Amino acid sequence: MIRSLLFLLSLISYLLSPSVLAQTRLESLLGDGGVMLNSPLGESLVSINADQELLPASLVKIPLTQVVLTALGEDFRFETRFFRNDAGDLLIRGLGDPFLVSEEIAQIADTLAAHGLQRVRRL
């Protein structure tokens, strides 16, 4: 009886722990979606339905990109321009590039750093 009670208390304690509650809440919010979050060192922090094939979040990008590439040709390249004003503000002029993904943004940040940009206070 005592062993059963201890087991039950341990189970309840585990199920009510903040990490389990957060995981359960996240899973209920995601529904059929998924999320994968890695640390800068590549360690998996959160992985829910990471192996499941899902439709892209921005479904509008797919047909729009097809129309633009058909109309303007496969050699057309979207441009995202970066400027800096006299106050040191970084100005970005985006023109709806559907290929601008987080990996590209990381590469852009590296390029800006190589050109002397050390810190962004206003964007």
Give the tens place of pLDDT for each residue, 32-80.
666 667 777 777 777 777 777 766 666 666 777 777 778 888 788 888 8
Asked whether residue 88 is domain-assigned, the answer is: yes
Asked whether residue 8 is domain-assigned, the answer is: yes
Greater pLDDT, 28 or 14: 28
Asked whether residue 55 is domain-assigned, the answer is: no
Q: Tens digits of per-residue pLDDT, 86-113?
A: 877 788 888 777 777 778 888 888 888 8
Residues 60/62/66/67 CA torsion (nearest 10 deg): 0
For the whole model, what pTM was predicted? 0.40
Asked whether residue 22 is domain-assigned, the answer is: yes
Asked whether residue 21 is domain-assigned, the answer is: yes
**Residue 6 structural domain:** 2-48
Domain count, the chain: 2
**What are the structure tokens assigned to 119, written together?**
């810190």
Say yes or no: 108 and 66 in one domain: yes
Determine the distance from the C-alpha atom of residue 121 to the mean position of all C-alpha atoms in its chain, rounded to a whole number: 22
pLDDT computed for residue 51 by the predictor: 77
Say yes or no: 42 and 83 in one domain: no
Tell me if 28 sits within 8 A of 46, measured CB to CB.
Answer: no
First vs last C-alpha separation in the chain: 63
